[in-house]
Amino acid sequence: MSIPAANQILTYKDQLQISFTSAFQYVNNSDGSGIEDVSWWRPLPSAGFYPLGDLTHPGFGDANGVGVVATVKGLQAGVLQQPTGFTKVGTFECDRINHLWFWRPTPPPGFVSLGLVVGSPGDTPPPLDVVMCIREDLVVPSAIGDMVWGGHGDESLARLWGTKTQPSPPGEAYFDPGTFVGVNDESLDAPKSDPSAYALQIDVTETPPSNPLPRPKLQSFDRPLQDVSDTVEYIVEVPWFTVVDPQLSALQQLLTSPRYRLVRTDRYHLLYSIYNEAPRDMPITRTYSWGTDATASHEFSETTGISFTLGYGGGLLDSGPSFSCTLTQSFTVTDTSTQGWQQQQTSEYGPIVCPGNTAIAIYTIASTYTLMRESGEVIAIPVPYTADGDGVSLYITTYPDPVGTPN
């Protein structure tokens, strides 16, 4: 089984391409070890790409079409290199196998390995071309995740662990390749670190509106509409593994929607308007609500895995990499505060002076966040967000002679 390469390749800094495969070659399994049933599989990448380590698959069933791991291709010389050798990490013994060893690739200076390799029974290390190491500046350290295989036994028994990404900075995504790391420590506690615990990284693509949001203008003394019809869109494009799609498996996402779009649609929203028919000035002070309904934000996060306050992260069970992806503050409207995503807030504006014989309208920006598949299908209920009028979003217009004065 092979995965088509089209539309699923990620590029980082014009130096590293990252693709995914759900095709594997069987290596061995843990039958007879007296420990949890798992099997080990070697990724079969698309042409020109290389694996980073083997896959631990729960149970003895076929991993093809179920597991998903990352594979890599260097776009410049010196991005990838073969390991210089292998170091034994641990083993297991059973009636049918005498010492099946797990091996850690030894990276050249300035490079790192991102997973272990399962050897053949005996002491012969794997061939050097079975995996590639990546230049260290193109990856980031990962934490140790859950144990994927291991138990009590002698000091040479392997304990195998998954990895867990650290929080990424705004505008970036970290994701683990889907491989495993390991130690031969007798403790069942997760190690604090591992020489092969690294994550891949990419930049999150953001597309701001090509034109600014048109400002509303009063055309008469009549009360204007609550929401202005003019809109602009701010789009963030994220890879498939950073979205929990409630209707698709990880492999279906990879094949049918390798990219998702989170679209913020902005429009001006009327906070207050009045026609001051008196000849004298009128001071205006009002309270208003901003932010979003916490229930809507929570339900969106529960459905998709995306949080608007702390970035988002998680894993696609045993069928995809763990990840951490953080949206920028400008996209989530949290340059000043994240409180509006936690619960709706109340603020006050004013006093604002409305001249005599004049109509005035006070607006702020209302946004709607919509998550779409690559096809344009919406996969979650859109989330509304009203900006804090204390910021630059507050806009005032008058009639006659509208002045359009930002706060």
pLDDT tens, position by position, for the chain (407 residues)? 444 444 479 999 999 999 999 999 999 998 887 788 999 999 999 999 999 999 999 999 999 988 899 999 999 999 999 999 999 998 877 767 777 899 999 999 999 999 999 998 888 999 999 999 999 999 999 999 989 988 665 556 788 999 998 888 888 889 999 999 998 777 778 889 999 999 999 998 899 999 999 999 999 999 998 888 999 999 999 888 888 888 888 888 888 999 999 999 999 999 999 999 999 999 999 999 898 887 888 888 777 777 777 555 444 333 456 788 888 888 888 766 677 887 888 888 889 999 999 999 999 999 999 999 999 999 988 999 998 866 567 899 999 975 444 44
Round to whole Å and give the CA distance between 396 and 315. 46
CA distances from 392 to 121, 273, 289 (A): 67, 19, 16
Q: How far apart are the first and last CA of the chain?
A: 60
Q: Are 115 and 53 in contact (CB under 8 A)?
A: yes
Among candidates 187, 212, 344, 199, which has minimal Cα distance to 268?
A: 212
DSSP string, 41-101: EEE-PPTT-B--S-EEEESSS--TTT--EEEEEESSTTSEE--SEEEEEEEE--SS-S-EE
Among candidates 86, 118, 92, which has minimal Cα distance to 195?
A: 86
Round to whole Å and give the CA distance between 119 and 100. 6
Sequence-separated (6 or more) residues with CB below 8 Å from residue 124: none
Round to whole Å and give the CA distance between 334 and 179. 35
Round to whole Å and give the CA distance between 144 and 225. 54
Phi, psi torsion values for 61, nearest 5 degrees: -75, 175
Sequence-separated (6 or more) residues with CB below 8 Å from residue 330: none
Sequence-separated (6 or more) residues with CB below 8 Å from residue 377: none
Query: In sequence order, which ranges of 208-338 are alpha helices (DSSP H)?
Result: 250-256, 294-304, 329-332
> Per residue in 393-402, pLDDT tens?
789 999 997 5
Instruction: Tell me how far the alpha carbon of residue 165 is from its chain's centroid.
Output: 10
> Per residue in 146-178, pLDDT tens?
899 886 655 567 889 999 988 888 888 899 999
Q: Could you check whether the bond before residue 169 is cis, i.e. omega within 30 degrees of 0?
A: no
Q: Are 130 and 53 in contact (CB under 8 A)?
A: no
- Residue whose tokens read 């630059």: 392
Q: What is the pLDDT of residue 405?
A: 46
Tokens of 158: 């392997």
Q: Which residues pair with 69 in a beta bridge?
A: 21
Domain spans in the chain, listed from the N-terminal domain onward: 10-203, 205-406
Sequence-separated (6 or more) residues with CB below 8 Å from residue 302: none
Round to whole Å and give the CA distance between 381 and 378. 8
Round to whole Å and give the CA distance between 282 and 264. 36
DSSP secondary-structure letter at 237? E
* Long-range contacts, 2-10 (Cβ 8 Å, 24+): 2/44, 2/46, 3/46, 3/254, 3/255, 4/255, 5/46, 5/47, 5/49, 7/258, 7/259, 7/374, 8/240, 8/254, 8/258, 10/202, 10/239
**3-class secondary-structure state, position 394:** coil
Q: How many other CB atoms sit within 10 Å of the CB of residue 108?
A: 12
Residues in the chain: 407
